[in-house]
Amino acid sequence: MDLIKHVQGTYNSVNDVPEFGAGDTITVYYKIKEGAKERTQFFRGVVLQRRGSGTTETFTIRKMSGSIGVERIFPINNPSIEKIEINKRGVVRRARIFYQRELTGKKARIKEKRV
């Protein structure tokens, strides 16, 4: 088991990621290749969860596009991620806030943490 972690640690590059958790609103800037062109696109939403550890860690973001909820799962060590920006810190009591999927309107708001 230690051999696998050792190999993953030496060969996988680790991105510089700020500390964030469930309930935080973040913006992820990532590169998209379309043929020979490359451009940067962003995805802004609320973090539903962070799961895994080390090089296999992922996080799920949910945003509303019109009236439709869109979720996206990003690996932390994805080389196409340029940067992660924290917009708001949220106050939630759970590490995984899947109950947000059923909530709409004012019920879906998350209190902002004052710093």
Domain boundaries, the chain: 14-101
pLDDT at 56: 86
pLDDT averaged over every residue in the chain:
90
d(CA 35, CA 42) in angstroms, rounded, equals 19
Residues 19-25 have a mean pLDDT of 94
Q: Is 4 helix (H, G, I), strand (E, B) or coil?
A: helix
Higher pLDDT, 68 or 2: 68
* Burial environment of residue 9 by CB neighbours within 10 A (0 to 12, 13 to 18, 19 or more): exposed
Domain 14-101 fold = SH3 type barrels. (2.30.30)
Q: What is the pLDDT of residues 40-77, one digit of tens each?
A: 999 999 999 999 987 889 999 999 998 899 999 999 98
Q: Is the pLDDT reported for residue 21 higher than 90?
A: yes
Q: Is the pLDDT reported for residue 81 higher than 80?
A: yes
